[in-house]
A = this chain, B = another copy of it.
Amino acid sequence: MHFDLEATDGHARAGTLTTAHSTIQTPVFMPVGTVGSVKSLDAHDMTDILDAKIILGNTYHLYLRPGDEVVHTMGGLHGFTQYDRSFLTDSGGFQAFSLSDISKADKDGITFKSHIDGSTHYFTPEKVLDIQGNLGSDIMMILDDLVALPATKERIALSIERTTQWAKRSILYHRANQAQGKAQEQNIFAIIQGGTDPEFRRISATQLCEMDFDGFAIGGLSVGEPNQAMYDTVELTTPLMPTHKPRYLMGVGTPEDLVENVKRGVDMFDCVMPTRNARNGTLFTSFGKLNIKAARFQTDELPIDPACDCFTCKRYSRSYLSHLYRARELTFFRLASLHNLHYYLGLMKQMRQAILVGKFEGFYREFYAKRA
């Protein structure tokens, strides 16, 4: 993997990330393909219609169903899903923590019960890399120790310490695998934790960034804290991260969140928001959100966003989409997801272009002016 930083404008960065499967221009938004499919879309939609260069797969989900061994047998995520560009897979820790009724961390890993059949499983730093090895993702995330907030200072301190210990085990294990000729095309990112506490973030970032990871993520945000707390935390963390490695803000966010965090030096994002909102009838536009359920759209001949050139806006009226939504027709979910993801991917392209020409501040003002 190579990361070339092409331009900076203030703290905002434009770069190019090259994996064994695709060339990714940053800042980039990664659509979430939970179980090996971006919800309601197929690989052809992701490449030929949306031209997404990288998507995210959820290790927890794929491990439980169909099982990482099945995915491995079928040629890894690339062979299995036929999406031939890049995959980033998370560690599975977040879902083990949030979807399982019972999850418990100890010094070696996380015990959890499957949300599908209640069976018990144990994720260790090494185990989640083995799983991601089977999945064959281009970027693997390491296991981190998450804590439910609010938590005591002691518990947060323990989380930071464990996250660092697990990071050491992860990189040792990964480099040893590579020395044996395995996981050659796979890259490994660490995850900075510490909630919104500046001191914990500083400790976590400093400890992790000393290690030779291929990139670094900021985790544990967008979990209910005020937006400004997220922005402030990112702002204090990015300067602690290496300049010449990609920076990934996990699970973020709204269009405003993307703009604010690109401004603060983040290169990569993922979020279920564009696809989840699509399924709820909430559509993103250059002038803000639009709820297709509103009665006024029933005879509205305009596309979702007259300024949008996506697959859906080139073809269908708000009237037709409003009808499909009311009738719960499955094709609505695809058409709305195509629109929302096109909006997210387009927003990233606009920011990149502005950074490359040194006009990010102008872009930033215009972005908010259009939604006023």
Interface on A for B, CB 8 Å cutoff?
Answer: 35-37, 39-45, 61, 65-66, 70, 73-74, 80-82, 298-299, 301, 311, 315-317, 319-320, 322-324, 326-327, 329-331, 333-335
The answer to whether B35 touches A317, judged by C-beta atoms less than 8 angstroms apart, is no
In the docked arrangement, what's the CA distance between A236 and B323, Å? 42
In the docked arrangement, what's the CA distance between A73 and B300, Å? 10
The answer to whether A323 touches B82, judged by C-beta atoms less than 8 angstroms apart, is no
Q: Shortest Cβ distance from A205 into chain B, in angstroms?
A: 36
The answer to whether B44 touches A315, judged by C-beta atoms less than 8 angstroms apart, is yes
Question: Which residue of chain B is the closest to A319 with respect to CB atoms?
Answer: B74
The answer to whether B66 touches A334, judged by C-beta atoms less than 8 angstroms apart, is no
Given contacts A74-B320, A317-B74, contact A41 B331 (CB under 8 A): yes
The answer to whether B315 touches A65, judged by C-beta atoms less than 8 angstroms apart, is no
In the docked arrangement, what's the CA distance between A317 and B71, Å? 12
The answer to whether B330 touches A82, judged by C-beta atoms less than 8 angstroms apart, is no
Given contacts A316-B82, A320-B80, contact A334 B327 (CB under 8 A): no
Given contacts A37-B324, A326-B65, contact A70 B331 (CB under 8 A): no
The answer to whether B66 touches A331, judged by C-beta atoms less than 8 angstroms apart, is no
A to B CB contacts below 8 Å, 5 in the list: A37-B331, A61-B327, A74-B299, A80-B323, A82-B316
Q: Shortest Cβ distance from A125 into chain B, in angstroms?
A: 27
| In-complex Cβ contact of A43 among B66, B315, B330 (8 A) | B315
Given contacts A35-B323, A323-B35, contact A333 B335 (CB under 8 A): no
Given contacts A315-B44, A319-B80, contact A65 B331 (CB under 8 A): no
Question: Which residue of chain B is the closest to A41 with respect to CB atoms?
Answer: B331
Given contacts A317-B74, A320-B36, contact A66 B326 (CB under 8 A): yes
The answer to whether B329 touches A331, judged by C-beta atoms less than 8 angstroms apart, is no
The answer to whether B73 touches A329, judged by C-beta atoms less than 8 angstroms apart, is no
In the docked arrangement, what's the CA distance between A299 and B72, Å? 10
The answer to whether B42 touches A323, judged by C-beta atoms less than 8 angstroms apart, is no
Question: Which residue of chain B is the closest to A332 with respect to CB atoms?
Answer: B37
Q: Shortest Cβ distance from A228 into chain B, in angstroms?
A: 36
| In-complex Cβ contact of A330 among B298, B299, B324, B334 (8 A) | B334
Q: Which residues of B contact A329 (CB under 8 A)?
A: 35, 37, 39-40
